[in-house]
Structure 1
Amino acid sequence: MAQRGLTCSHTNNNNNNPLDTLVQGFQAVKTTIVNNTPLRHVTKPTMETLPFTGKAANWHDAVREAQGLVHTGNDHDRMMDPAKLLGDDVWELKDHIKRLLGSGHPFMKTLVKHYLASDTERIRPLVVQLMALASSPDQVILDQQRRLGEISEMIYISSLLHYDILDDNGEPANVFGNKMAVLGGDFLLARASLALAQLRNAECIELMATCIANLVEGEVLHLKKNNGKVSMDDYLQQCYLKTASLIAQSCKSSVVLGGNDDSMAQQAYEYGRNLGMALQVNLKMTRLGIFIFFFFCLQLTSDIQQFAKASTSMDRAPVLSPPLLFAAEEIPELNEIIDRQFEQADDLEKTRLLVYQSQGLKRTFDLIHTHQQAAVAVAEQFKPSQAQQSLVQLAQHIST
C-alpha cells in the first residue's frame, strides 16, 4: 500500500516546485497509511514482481524485486468479514474504551480522542475475540473476553503515549508535552489495570502484567540502541517485547478466560507471538520505505537545512530496520555507516543503494513469511470453524 503512494509521488513531481513535491508526496504517504482500509474490507493485493537486479531506482521497485524472490504460496481470496462473525462490538471499540476510562477531565477526553481518531485495524481486540470463538466448544464469546480485547487496546494506546515522549534524538515528540503525555499514558494504564482486576482471574492478570513489563523493557532497549551496535537478534527481541508480547499474552489470556486447558493456551500464545512478530517486522520495513522517500524529497529542495528539523522524527528509528540490519551482515561498509550514525553527507544515499543491492529486503520478506506460516500452522490445529479460518487468513494477510 505505502509503496503505491511513493511511486505516484515520484512520477508526478516534474511540474511542481520542490516544496510542493515534498508536501504532496508526504501527504500521499500519510493518507495511504493513516486511512488504510479496515480489515473487514481488506483483500490481498496482487503485486507485480520484477527480476532481481540489485539496481532498483526506488523503494517500490526494490520491494517488487525482493518479493519476486520469495514464494509465499498464499492465494488472493478475500478475507472473511470479522464483523459478521463478531458483531459490532469490535467496530465500536472507541466508545467502549471511553466508557472504561470514566474521566470527566477535558484533557483526558482530548487525549483519548486524539489517539482514537484514526480508523485503525484494531488487531488486538479482533484477535482476542476470534481466539475466544475458535477455542470455545459452544462458539460463544464471554463478556470477560470482550472486555479483555478492550483492555489490550488500552494498554497499546498507553504505550503509544509513553513511546512518544522522546524521539530517538532525545527531543520532545509528543503534541501534548512530555509531562501530560506521561500522565495520560499512566492514566490509561491504571484504568486498564483496574478493568483487568475486575475480570477476577489470577492467571489472566499475571499474563497481562507480564506483557506490560515487557513493553517497558522493550522501550528501554530501544532507547539504548544508539549507544552501541544493534544485532538482528537484539532487534527481534525488541520486536517481541514491544509488540508481539502484548498480542501473544492477550491471545493466551482469552483462551484462559474461556476455561481451556494449558495446551490450547500455549497454542494461542504461539499464534499471537508469531502474528505479532510478522506485524512488527512488516511495519518497520514500511517505515524504512517512508524514510527513504522522505529523504528523496529533501534532496529535491534547494535548502535541505530548512527541512532538517522536520525529518528528525523520521531519522534513526526507521533506518535501523530489518532490511538494513540484514544488509549489514553482508556488507561491512554498512556497519561503519551505522556506527557513525549516518553523519557523513552521502551516508543515507549509500545506505539506500547498498540495501537495494543486498539480500536485505528478500530476507525481511522471508522472515515475515516464516512467522506468518508458523501462526497459520498453529491456527490450523484448532477445531475447524469460521473463527479458526479467520485466524488462518489473518495470519496469511497480516503483511497487507
Structure 2
Amino acid sequence: MLYNLKTISHLSPLLRHSYKTICFRSIYTTRSCYDNKNNGSPLNSIVDGIDAFRSTLLQNTPLRHITKPTLETIPFTGKADSWYYALREAQDLVKTDSQDRMMDPVKLLGKDVWELKGNIKKLLGSGHPFVKTLAKHYLSGDTERIRPLLVLLMAQANASINGSNMILDAQRRLAEISEMIHISSLLHYDILDDNDNPGNVIGNKMAVLAGDFLLARASLALAQLRNAECIELMATCIANLVEGEVMQVKKRKLVESSDKSDMDYYMEQCYLKSASLIAQSCKSSMVLGGADKEVAKHAYDYGKHMGLALQLMNDVDTFAKQAANVNNPPNINAPVLFAAEEIEELKQILERNFSGAEDIEKTRSFVYQSNGLKRSLSLADTHVQTAIKAINHLPPSTAQEALIQLARNLGR
C-alpha cells in the first residue's frame, strides 16, 4: 500500500480522494514513447517553415471550421460535486448566444493562423515534435480554458454588483489575450525543456516563431483595449513569466546563494510562471469593468491562490504519471522538494542531479515513504481555502458562487 490512511485523515474529502487516486494511478501508469524522424536538409526545412508561417497569413480556414469543440455546458446549479461539472456549469454562465465557444481565438490571432498546424504537418510530417507541440497546446484541453473562464466569471461577478450580468466586449477580449499569453509561454517552455535534444533544432526554431507570433498578437490586442492600468497589469505578468522561467533554469545555483529554502524558492517560481497570469488577468477584468480597488484586490487574491493551488495539484498529478517511467528523473516539484526536507539522502540526490545509478528509483521510493504527496495536497487545500475567503468578500451572485464552486471542486 502506497499511503497510510492515518497520514491523510486530516485532509478534506476531495484531497483524500485525490491522494489515494494518484497513489494507485502511479502503479498502473504505462510507459509510452515515440520516435521523431527528420528528413531532408535542416536549413531547407527552416526556410520552408518560415514560408509556411507567411503563407498562413494569406489563406486560411478558421479554427472553428477545422475542429468542432467538445465543450458541452450544463445549467448552473451550484451543486457540482466534481471539477468536470463545476467547469461546465461555470462555462454555461459566460457563453453567448452567438458563439459556440467560451472564447474564440480566431478573433485574436486572425482567422488564417490556424492553418499553421496543417501546413507544418505537411512540411515536416505528422511525427515531427513541433506538430505534436501544436496539437497539444492549441487543440487539446479545449474544454477547460480555465484562465479565460475565470476572467469572464470575474467580469460577471463585478457586473452583478450593479444589477447586471453583462460581460463587456473588452473583458471577452481580455479573456482571449490571457489564454494566448499562456499558450505562447507553453511553446517557449517546451523549447527550454527540450534543450538536451540537439536533434530537435528545427522544431525549436519553429516553436520560437510560433510563440513570438502569438505573444505579439496578444500584446497588440492588449494595447487596443486602451486601458493603461490593464495594460500595465498584463505587461507585469508577461515579465513574471520570463523571470519565473529564469528561476527554473538557474534554480540550484540561485538557491544555494540565497536565504530561501528550496520549497520557498519553488513557490515563488510557481507564482511567477503560473499564478501571476491568472491573478493579474482576474484583476484586469475587474479594472475593465470599473470596479473599485478593493474589489480588484479581492479578484487578484482569488486568482493568485487559485493559480498556486492548480499548480500544486498539477505537481502531484505529474509525479504520479512519471512514477512508472524508470528511465527519466521526475520533475523537481512540490512532492519531491517536500520529501527532500525529510530525507537527507534525497536532498543529496537532487544536488547531484540524479547522476547516481539508482537515483531515479530511489527518488520515487523516497517520495512515497515521506509526506511529500500529503504535504503538497495539504498546501493546495490551504490555497483553495484562501481563494474562497478572498472571493467571499464580493457580494453574492451566481458568478461568485461559480468561482467558489470551482475552487471547492479542485482535485475532485
> Does the Cα contact within 8 Å between 2:305 and 2:383 map onto a contact in 1?
yes
Unpaired segments of 5 or more residues in structure 2?
A: 1-17, 34-69, 120-130, 256-260
Which residue of 210, 214, 217 maps to 2:236?
210
User: Does residue 1:353 correspond to 2:362, yes or no?
Assistant: no
Matches within 5 A, 1:6-155: 7=24, 10=27, 22-23=31-32, 40=73, 44=81, 81-88=89-96, 92=101, 96-102=104-110, 104=112, 106-107=115-116, 114=135, 115-120=137-142, 121-136=144-159, 137=162, 138-155=164-181
How far 1:98 sits from its partner (Å)?
2.2
Letter in 2 for 1:100: L
Aligned-residue offset at 1:113: 6.1
1:109 deviates by: 6.7
1:366 Cα deviation from its structure 2 partner: 1.3
Distance 2:134 2:197 in 1: 24
Identity of paired residues, percent?
50
**CA drift at 1:40:** 5.0
Structure 1 residue 269: Cα displacement:
0.5
Whole-angstrom distance in 2 between the partners of 1:362 and 1:9: 15
Q: 1:272 to 1:323 in 2, by over 3 A?
A: same
Distance 1:147 1:240, change over 3 A: same
Please tell me whether the aligned partners of residues 271 and 374 of structure 1 are also in contact (alpha carbons under 8 angstroms). yes
CA distance in 1, matches of 2:379, 2:224: 39
Aligned CA RMSD, in angstroms, stands at 3.2
Alpha-carbon shift at residue 321 of structure 1 (Å): 1.2
1:337–1:101: structure 2 CA closer, same or farther, 3 Å change rule? same
2:179 aligned with 1:171 = no
Q: How far is 1:129 from its partner?
A: 0.4
Q: Identify unmatched segments of 5+ residues in structure 1.
A: 14-20, 25-36, 47-75, 296-307
Does the CA contact (< 8 Å) of 1:382 and 1:388 recur in 2?
Answer: yes
* SS of alignment partner, residue 216 of structure 1: helix
Q: Is the 8 A contact 1:275 1:375 kept in 2?
A: yes
**Mapped partners of 2:100, 2:317: distance in 1:** 25
Greater Cα shift, 248-257 or 277-286: 277-286
Cα distance in 2, alignment partners of residues 361 and 78 from structure 1: 25
* Aligned length, in residue pairs: 331
Alpha-carbon contact 2:316-2:377 (below 8 Å) kept: no
Assess if the C-alpha contact under 8 Å between 2:25 and 2:320 holds in 1.
Answer: no
Alpha-carbon distance between aligned partners in 1 of 2:399 and 2:240, rounded to the nearest angstrom: 28
Kindly tell me: are residues 347 and 116 of structure 1, through their superposed partners in 2, closer, same or farther at Cα, counting changes over 3 Å?
A: same
Deviation of the 1:241 alpha carbon:
0.4
Indicate if the aligned counterparts of 1:174 and 1:181 stay in contact, CA closer than 8 A.
no
SS class of match (2:246): helix
CA shift digits 1:37-64 (9 cap, x unpaired): 9795795469xxxxxxxxxxxxxxxxxx
Pairwise mapping of residues 246-265 of structure 1 onto structure 2 (< 5 A)? Answer: 246-265=277-296
Report the equivalent of 1:332.
Answer: 344
| Deviant stretches of 4+, over 3 Å | 1-11, 21-24, 37-46, 76-80, 88-91, 103-113, 172-176, 226-230
Cα distance in structure 1, aligned partners of 2:378 and 2:301: 19
The residue number in structure 1 matching 2:315 is 284
Is residue 368 of structure 1 aligned with residue 380 of structure 2?
Answer: yes
What is the TM-score normalised by the length of structure 2? 0.72
Q: For residue 217 of structure 2, what is the aligned residue in structure 1?
A: 191
One-letter amino acid matched to 2:139 = A
- SS of the residue corresponding to residue 356 of structure 2 reads coil
Q: Out of 385, 390, 393, which is 2:397 matched to?
A: 385
Residue 209 of structure 1 aligns with an amino acid whose one-letter code is A
Q: State the TM-score, normalized to the length of structure 1.
A: 0.74
